[in-house]
Structure 1
């Protein structure tokens, strides 16, 4: 069977373009653009993207593991009396934090950025709350949970450890709920 007869067997005797749509198909294109080729390309692209992001994933895991191991001295117990607060930076010099010696004698520390728009948070001794003055956001000083205003998420807590007469920041706990 010659090429003209092969092409003519699917052709109908009509001038309607919709019936003769298969004229533009070629068997080579059919083999080149099939499901198997598409799946090979999709899997190859997925593997390539996965391998390209692997170094960033490993670096992120290594950074979070190192962050928990940081231990920084914040202050001496005698430097901060009940009802006072102290600003410091943790875990890096660019991350502001606040240490509060509550009225009932406990020490708590949080990131010093409001979870609404990153404004600084201040300790309000009279009301025993953390206040964000930008939009009147209030946080519970004991738990870091929002009490009023626009903030919807609690402040990330900084874990503390007291050894001898020194208060240390030893880790950060980001909580949701």
Structure 2
């Protein structure tokens, strides 16, 4: 076969643009930017992000097991049955509400409404926690919303009574 025929065999028969679309493809780019390379990059990035968050996960697990120090709230005789007492826990910026129910139970919650952070008050007559901003109601028994716009329950403050004094011993932010 002559060189002239060999070259003609590799030439396109038409100058139509649709037929000559493959002329702009570069084999190096095809190998460099293929599906396998993309998947390798995606898996590598996922593993790197997972490993980067591992220390934070370990820290969160270790912190949740630690006992919190007891914080003195008030003497129980200063909060008669059917009344409430305002205090700050776990920091001075976090307002909270201690409720001494008519049945003699002690309940404590952070008193910022989970809707728009308005203060929550104890309503003795109805035995509910009320957010007056948008008429949000929470159950005194468990802090769950019963009416109004709030969708999440109030953060629970765990309490203990020692020698007639109420102590806060932990906080539980619940979801669901």
Structure 1 position 22, deviation (Å): 1.3
- Specify every segment of 5 or more residues in structure 2 that has no aligned partner in the other structure, as ranges: none
The TM-score normalised by the length of structure 2 is 0.83
The TM-score normalised by the length of structure 1 is 0.83
Query: Deviation digits for residues 88-134 of structure 1, max 9, x if unmatched?
Result: 22223332211000112111011111111111101112222111111
Residue of structure 2 equivalent to 1:149: 148
Residue of structure 2 equivalent to 1:50: 50
Is 1:164 equivalent to 2:163 in the alignment?
yes
Structure 1 runs (4+) greater than 4 angstroms displaced = none
Secondary structure of the residue aligned to 1:20 is helix
Greater shift, 52-61 or 73-82, is seen at 52-61
Matched-pair contact (CA < 8 Å) for 1:161–1:167: yes
Secondary structure of the residue aligned to 1:119 is coil
Residue of structure 2 equivalent to 1:93: 92
Secondary structure of the residue aligned to 1:36 is helix
Matched-pair contact (CA < 8 Å) for 1:96–1:112: yes
Residue of structure 1 equivalent to 2:107: 108
- How many pairs are equivalent? 171
- Specify every segment of 5 or more residues in structure 1 that has no aligned partner in the other structure, as ranges: none
Q: How far, CA to CA, are the matches of 1:58 and 1:143 in structure 2?
A: 30
Matched-pair contact (CA < 8 Å) for 1:157–1:173: yes
Residue of structure 1 equivalent to 2:21: 21
Q: How far, CA to CA, are the matches of 1:126 and 1:77 in structure 2?
A: 21
Q: How far, CA to CA, are the matches of 1:65 and 1:59 in structure 2?
A: 10
Query: Deviation digits for residues 115-167 of structure 1, max 9, x if unmatched?
Result: 11111101112222111111111212122122222222221222211122121
Greater shift, 47-56 or 156-165, is seen at 47-56
Structure 1 position 168, deviation (Å): 1.5
Residue of structure 2 equivalent to 1:126: 125
Q: How far, CA to CA, are the matches of 1:31 and 1:139 in structure 2?
A: 62
